[in-house]
Amino acid sequence: MSPTPALKIDGLSTDIHLSSSVVHAVGDVSLSIDPGETLGLVGESGCGKSMLGLSVMRLLPAGGRIVQGTIELDGTDLVTLGEASMRDVRGNDVAMIFQDSLTSLNPTMSVGDQIAEPLLRHRSMSKSEARTRATELLGIVGMPRPQDRLDDYPHQFSGGQRQRIMIAMALSCEPKVLLADEPTTALDVTIQAEILGLLDGLKERLGMAVLLVTHDMGVVAGRADRVNVMYAGRMVESARTDRLFAHMHHPYTQALLGAIPLLTQARDQPLYSIPGLPPDLTAPPPGCRFAARCAHATEQCREVEPPLAGDPDHLFACWHPVDGPLDRRKVAVTAAGTTVAADATPPPAEEPAPLPTAVVAATAPPTEPGENGSDVLVVDDVVCEYPVKGGVLRRTVDTVKAVSGISFSVARGQTFGLVGESGCGKTTLGKVIIALERPDSGRTTVHGVDMTKLGRGELRTFRKNVQMMFQDPVTSLDPRLRIGAALREPMRAQGIGTRREQDEVVRQLLGEVGLPADAIERFPHEFSGGQRQRLGLARALMLNPEVIVADEPVSALDVSIRSQVLNLMKRLQALHGLTYVVISHDLAVVKYLADRIGVMYMGKLVEVGSGEDIYRRPAHHYTAGLIDAIPEPDPTLRRRERVALRGELPDPRHPPSGCRFRTRCPAAQSICAEQEPVLEELGAEHEVACHFPRVQAPVGSGA
């Protein structure tokens, strides 16, 4: 006999009432989750996944209302509960890990008080007992020095650490049902693996039912027992995980899996992405909601909505079902992201539209750019440390070793990728490259100009040659400025061009990044995450730079939108001869974009090489651990033994002696604590800093 579901949703529909329209966010959705089971809920942004979770929690935004259906938790319909009764359930019997940890945490409360709050409310603990339990919970979720961080505030933590705090809060009362809304979207692969493993362990120990909401098919492949696929507010497919991946029937499911960048992806081929955009849910189309983006659609699809039907163990809503994953050998993608037959003749290469003469003159590089292959950016032995203040007089009591002697160079038109866990110094190094931070020693040069020696006025003028795509496009765009004004701002600050010429550049760049001309009059909040990332790229291009530092440019995007942005970055690099430094925790993204890759650990480069060297012949044990933590979109590999990165990231104020990775390294010996390894050649342009590398230098190499 089947167990009684921990959570059962039947025919749920949720609307969001706006001032002039109604968004039908969730439409006639049914699902159930058994105790101890993980149900994966997959789909693009805007498909209704998060709104479904918020409906269960009864935390809908202003104008949100459940218009029909039931939500049963242990036989109680949450839809009919009064708010006072719902407060007894929320955070106690059902809890949620929210997607955006920064905006979900109270900036005015310490994290210790926020974790203790549900314990005081639901468990009637004393303040000291709740504080002790909060410390335990922070330790459980892997927070370094948890007893020292209880009184810190959310802004003092990294993104990964804030996500751990959210998980500690959600698990504080050991709920029966946990709703995990994109719990690892913007996290490192190692932290992602740790957190997903943590959720698995807690689920088994507590018998929790888990709804794992994600856009990443690789995450659900290794963690979910069953998978539901959601599109435009509807469920379009549901099956056991192994069956879904082997015999998916809906074209949308097939497209989601096909859009995942793989380590085997050829760098000279554009990534597959789903064409078009999801429909406007204020006026959904009459037939299949995926028809406008589907290669198999017919008139029947456009006129009649297919029911969710089929085998009870495998339901799908499609008039023309497929069978199995996308055959990438039969599909090709143009540089613009259009899907064509593999044997089709590609369209002619696109030429950039000419910029106004005044703009070209004002944004010309300081010296001749040279040919592709000549070094444009050189980072030479950069060291960057931050003082730690303490005591009543706020004196310097310690220093954080953020970057410790990094050197590399990037040729014109090429991409250098930086990978590593949060806290390894990648973003700090990126800020040093564009001179937002001054290094304590070392230098960065662009076209031979030492940016560390420029005065403020000289630097302001010179910085137009080096621009940055920031990790969070929401906070890097002024919410009070329309997009036209925000994009014109760099040119206005540099005194480049007339207003008419500036508007001409804005319109041209909006077209190049795939946004309509009327975007000029809209505000940042009116764009989706993928569109805001495109705006970030357009703003970085406004001054016609030669070097762009892209800090986690696609970390929080859906897999399909991620593919569109990566294709766009490659296309614009070819059009404008751009030189990229790409900072990312997603190793598949870096391998696709980068000509050379540097692996960072605690402020040091531990391995440098080509994508093939790094991924096929990783020499450093840290690199191997990063690769092995990548979630693979194949449920048959979920039980495979992995070389996990064990232990905590050491305190950056006091890095270990010798090799900084030795405290987590499976091959560490006594010499690793006594002598710091230096980068040594293993082969052509493949270097590693390790006393006992996994790959040895070939005989006669001189290494």
Count of positions (residues) in the chain = 703
pLDDT the model gives residue 440 = 94
Per-residue confidence band for 365, with pLDDT thresholds at 50, 70 and 90: low
Place of tokens 């856009």: 215
Q: When comparing pLDDT for 338 and 270, which is higher? A: 270
Check pLDDT > 50 for residue 62: yes
Check pLDDT > 90 for residue 300: yes
C-alpha to C-alpha distances, 244 to 219, 236, 241, 307, 422, nearest whole angstrom? 14, 12, 5, 18, 33
Gap between the Cα atoms of 451 and 445, Å rounded = 6
Three-class secondary structure of residue 40 per DSSP = strand
Check pLDDT > 90 for residue 233: yes
Angle, CA of 288, 293 and 298, to the nearest 5°:
55
Looking at mean pLDDT, say which of 310-319, 476-485, 558-567 comes out highest.
310-319
pLDDT the model gives residue 367 = 52
pLDDT in tens, 568-579: 889 889 888 899
Dihedral of CA atoms 193, 47, 86, 74 in degrees, nearest 10, equals -70
Gap between the Cα atoms of 373 and 413, Å rounded = 7
Q: Are 688 and 615 in contact (CB under 8 A)?
A: no
List domains and CATH numbers for the chain: 360-585 (3.40.50.300), 598-688 (no CATH)
Check pLDDT > 50 for residue 344: no
Q: Are 664 and 424 in contact (CB under 8 A)?
A: no
Check pLDDT > 50 for residue 353: yes
Q: Which residues contact 647 (CB under 8 A, 6 or more apart)?
A: 663, 664
Gap between the Cα atoms of 538 and 5, Å rounded = 49
Check pLDDT > 50 for residue 485: yes
pLDDT the model gives residue 341 = 44
Closest CA relative to residue 241, chosen from 264, 273, 218 = 218
Place of tokens 């259009």: 338
User: Average pLDDT, stretch 508-527?
Assistant: 84
C-alpha to C-alpha distances, 475 to 129, 154, 472, nearest whole angstrom? 37, 16, 6
Dmax of the chain from CA atoms?
77
Cβ-in-10-Å burial (0-12, 13-18, 19+) of 87 comes to middle
pLDDT the model gives residue 161 = 80
Count of Cβ atoms closer than 10 Å to residue 627 Cβ:
20
Check pLDDT > 90 for residue 364: no
User: Average pLDDT, stretch 242-257?
Assistant: 93
pLDDT the model gives residue 360 = 53
Lowest mean pLDDT among 92-96, 228-232, 373-377: 373-377
Q: When comparing pLDDT for 393 and 478, which is higher? A: 478
pLDDT the model gives residue 336 = 47
User: Average pLDDT, stretch 149-165?
Assistant: 84
Per-residue confidence band for 349, with pLDDT thresholds at 50, 70 and 90: very low
Q: When comparing pLDDT for 317 and 393, which is higher? A: 317
pLDDT the model gives residue 421 = 84
3-state helix/strand/coil string of 159-171: HHHHHHHHHHHHH
Tokens of 644: 């996990």
pLDDT in tens, 577-633: 899 999 988 788 898 999 999 999 999 999 999 988 898 899 999 999 888 888 778
Closest CA relative to residue 465, chosen from 506, 437, 442, 433 = 433
Three-class secondary structure of residue 315 per DSSP = strand
Count of Cβ atoms closer than 10 Å to residue 60 Cβ:
16
Tokens of 210: 């888990």
DSSP per-residue string spanning 581-648: EEEES-HHHHHHH-SEEEEEETTEEEEEEEHHHHHHS--SHHHHHHHHTSPPS-GGGTTS------SP
Dihedral of CA atoms 244, 246, 249, 253 in degrees, nearest 10, equals 60
Check pLDDT > 80 for residue 697: no
Check pLDDT > 60 for residue 171: yes
User: Can you give the pTM of this predicted structure?
Assistant: 0.81
User: Average pLDDT, stretch 99-128?
Assistant: 90
C-alpha to C-alpha distances, 578 to 372, 419, 506, 509, 547, nearest whole angstrom? 10, 20, 18, 15, 6
Per-residue confidence band for 390, with pLDDT thresholds at 50, 70 and 90: confident
Closest CA relative to residue 462, chosen from 569, 574, 350, 547 = 547
Per-residue confidence band for 699, with pLDDT thresholds at 50, 70 and 90: very low
User: Average pLDDT, stretch 376-389?
Assistant: 93
Three-class secondary structure of residue 83 per DSSP = helix
Place of tokens 């300081």: 366
Q: Are 598 and 689 in contact (CB under 8 A)?
A: no
Place of tokens 């990648």: 426
C-alpha to C-alpha distances, 451 to 122, 433, 530, 693, nearest whole angstrom? 56, 8, 32, 35
Residue 588 CA, chain-centre distance (Å), reads 12
Q: Which residues contact 280 (CB under 8 A, 6 or more apart)?
A: none
Check pLDDT > 60 for residue 333: no
Lowest mean pLDDT among 122-131, 314-323, 448-457, 664-673: 448-457
Check pLDDT > 60 for residue 356: no
Tokens of 325: 């994953």
pLDDT the model gives residue 79 = 95
Cβ-in-10-Å burial (0-12, 13-18, 19+) of 443 comes to middle
Three-class secondary structure of residue 432 per DSSP = helix
User: Average pLDDT, stretch 314-326?
Assistant: 93
Check pLDDT > 50 for residue 640: no
Q: Are 351 and 363 in contact (CB under 8 A)?
A: no
- The interaxial angle of helices 529-541 and 483-494, nearest 10 deg, is 20
3-state helix/strand/coil string of 675-687: CCCCCEEEECCEE
pLDDT the model gives residue 41 = 96
Q: Are 534 and 163 in contact (CB under 8 A)?
A: no
User: Average pLDDT, stretch 172-184?
Assistant: 90
DSSP per-residue string spanning 213-259: EES-HHHHHHH-SEEEEEETTEEEEEEEHHHHHHS--SHHHHHHHHT
Q: Are 589 and 261 in contact (CB under 8 A)?
A: yes
Q: Are 565 and 528 in contact (CB under 8 A)?
A: no
Mean pLDDT of the chain: 86
Per-residue confidence band for 396, with pLDDT thresholds at 50, 70 and 90: confident
Dihedral of CA atoms 255, 259, 262, 266 in degrees, nearest 10, equals 110
Check pLDDT > 80 for residue 285: yes
Tokens of 21: 């329209």
pLDDT the model gives residue 346 = 42
User: Average pLDDT, stretch 267-290?
Assistant: 88
Gap between the Cα atoms of 351 and 326, Å rounded = 32
What Rg value do the Cα atoms of the chain yield, rounded? 26
Tokens of 17: 């009432």
Gap between the Cα atoms of 541 and 522, Å rounded = 19
Three-class secondary structure of residue 408 per DSSP = strand
Looking at mean pLDDT, say which of 136-150, 238-252, 274-288, 538-552 comes out highest.
238-252
Gap between the Cα atoms of 92 and 499, Å rounded = 57
Lowest mean pLDDT among 184-188, 190-194, 557-561: 184-188
Q: How many helices (H) and strands (E) does the chain have?
A: 23, 26
Closest CA relative to residue 554, chosen from 519, 505, 593, 517 = 593
User: Average pLDDT, stretch 260-266?
Assistant: 79
